[in-house]
Amino acid sequence: MDEIAKRLAQEEQHKKNRRAAQLENMLWGLFTSNERPFFSRSSLSPKRIEDFVESPEAHAAASHFAVSLMNLWTRQNPGTRLEVMAMDPAKSGPAKPIEFEEFTSYLGGDLAGVSDSHPTPESTPPVDDPARPTTSEPVTDPKQAARSIPLQTELPLDIGLRPAQVPLAGSVARRPPDPKVTLRFPNAKVGQDYLGRIEGTGISGAPVHIRNVRFPADLGLSFDVATEELRGVPVVPGDHRISLQWAENGVDWYAGEGLLFVNHNPRSLWKQIDPPAGDPYFKDNIDGDFIVGSNLCIAVASRRGRSHEHAGTFRDDDFFVKHDENSGWTVLIVADGAGSARNSRWGSKLAVEAAGAHIAANLAGEFGARVTQALGDWSTDMTAASKAMSAPFYLLFQEASKLAVQAIESEAQSKAAQPKEYSTTLLAAAVRRDGNETFLATFWMGDGAIAAYGPRGKFRLMGTPDSGEFAGQTRFLDRAALTDPGFGKRLGLGRYSDLTGVMLMTDGVSDPRFETDNGLADAAKWDALWDEISPLLALPDPDRALIEWLDFFTPGHHDDRTIAVLWRPSGAVDGEDR
């Protein structure tokens, strides 16, 4: 008798185990890897899901859901039965289809006698009623079909058992959590083309295959199944959770997820605030000029830096450019007002105008004629010609600098201010082209750069950027600089054959493009710069194109930018030597 009771108890326990396994299989299907999971498990740990799936309350809800769903199916599809993918806790291997009635027989002991919260006809047979239709005799009467499985809305909480409550521990064949895999997504940046292959290593260490990738619809990306790559232009910054399925062998697919980091576009973080229009020292945010001569072109562009845009302050840079077709001389000047000096934007303007007017007027007159004649002897006696021209250009640049300082001092006095509030650098070049020869005399006060560039792979730096008394500072044009014994070292002279162009720039251009003084001595960097700007010089409005180019983004470099370029356009015909 004890043996019979024991066997009956074992059979009953086996039914409960089988019932629990099937309900857990249903619940796992709501969370785990399938084509259309119901719940997102992105913020849930596998342990938390497992505890939930094994809980009696979840089993009760799952039982009620399954029976309710079958009743609904039977009412809407009379005569058609559904099969259940049943799992046997005593056996390993995949689930097999069984009739729904067989599945409900697992629940019968717990469902029998439980009242429906919505009264049903007294004639409705219970689940274990022998009169219930069987699979061999399909139900054709819709009313009878609707009553074939009673709709239960209140189920006992012991309908499923935790493993600790099951005597045959470990016999429940519930689905284990999906294995973990490390997935890698290359970082992206807002507004920039993105092409990133999703990579991961599976349990065996082999690369995994990816499918069913899901991410926010407004992210701006798409998934290429063939290449297993994300591509597009991200539009939403932040950390984005990517859900997907992965497999090592292409057969056993598991759920996985990872984070795609989309960085802000740094440019979008900068504000663009216009400076006050009524300021007495108002200056436009951008400026430029374009001049075409008989055998040369000149383009100059100046643009307010991002740091000034963000703060709503003015452009401190300025420039002067003039070409005299009669004398053949060109004057190019760029200046950078000191960022720490509140009126430096006007100081740079006063300096370039005063110095530029003086240099241009002298080159167009007797002075220009005299140095042009001396230049004619350069090819026969370069040393003698260089000496003959050094003194005149030294005096020319010194007088021009003096006039610039006087203009600043006069303005400061009229405003009861100090001249240092108008501090500025000054870089100037006097250029004359004869046939394939280009002569230039330069003056360099402060940082930035002046270079005679070309042919490719060759350049001549026409001076050295100098610093002030403290690191990070530069030398500004002032009265002390005029009497400095080293003033003459700021002068540069040169005559070069087949020169591609002459470039002057403030440090807003030279710093991001060359970074250091050693960078200024790197011919490859000058080639790279010319490669960037030369296509712009071929456009109808190269000054406008250069202004747009000056908006390039380099982290840490947000100063005003000014560049002046003199070049010989392709197809130009040289005139007679003057």
CA atoms within 13 A on the CB side of 166: 27
> Where residue 169 falls among pLDDT bands split at 50, 70, 90?
very low
Please tell me the distance from the alpha carbon of residue 229 to that of residue 4, in angstroms, as a whole number.
63
* Pick from 356, 290, 300, 302: nearest CA to 329: 356
More reliable by pLDDT, 91 or 458? 458
Question: For residue 67, what pLDDT band results from cuts at 50, 70 and 90?
Answer: confident
* CATH number for the domain running over 286-567: 3.60.40.10
Write the DSSP string, 381-403.
Answer: -HHHHHHHHHHHHHHHHHHHHHH
Boundaries of every domain in the chain = 2-165, 182-269, 286-567
Q: How far apart are CA 69 and CA 343, in angstroms?
A: 80
Q: Grade residue 35 by pLDDT with cuts at 50, 70 and 90.
A: low
Q: What pLDDT, on a 0 to 100 scale, did the predictor assign at position 147?
A: 37
Residue 163 reports pLDDT greater than 70: no
CA distance 26 to 28: 6
Quick: pLDDT tens for 185-222.
889 988 889 998 888 887 777 888 888 888 888 889 99
pLDDT value at residue 44: 67
pLDDT of residue 106: 53
Share of the chain above pLDDT 70, in %: 77
Phi and psi, residue 296, nearest 5°: -160, 165
Average pLDDT rounded to a whole number, residues 17-25: 72
Superfamily for 182-269?
A: Immunoglobulins (2.60.40.10)
pLDDT of residue 26: 75
pLDDT of residue 86: 62
pLDDT digits (tens, 9 = 90+) for 437-493: 999 999 999 999 999 999 999 999 999 887 544 434 578 999 999 989 889 999 999
Cβ–Cβ contacts within 10 Å for residue 335, how many?
Answer: 33
Secondary structure of residue 376 in the 3-state scheme: coil
Can you name the residues that pair with 557 across neighbouring β-strands? 554
Residue 128 reports pLDDT greater than 60: no
- Per the structure block, which two tokens stand in for 519? 């960078």
What's this model's pTM, rounded to 2 decimal places? 0.61
CA atoms within 13 A on the CB side of 497: 2
Q: Of all residues in the chain, what percent carry a pLDDT higher than 90? A: 41
In this predicted structure, which of 273-277, 317-321, 437-441, 552-556 has the lowest mean pLDDT? 552-556
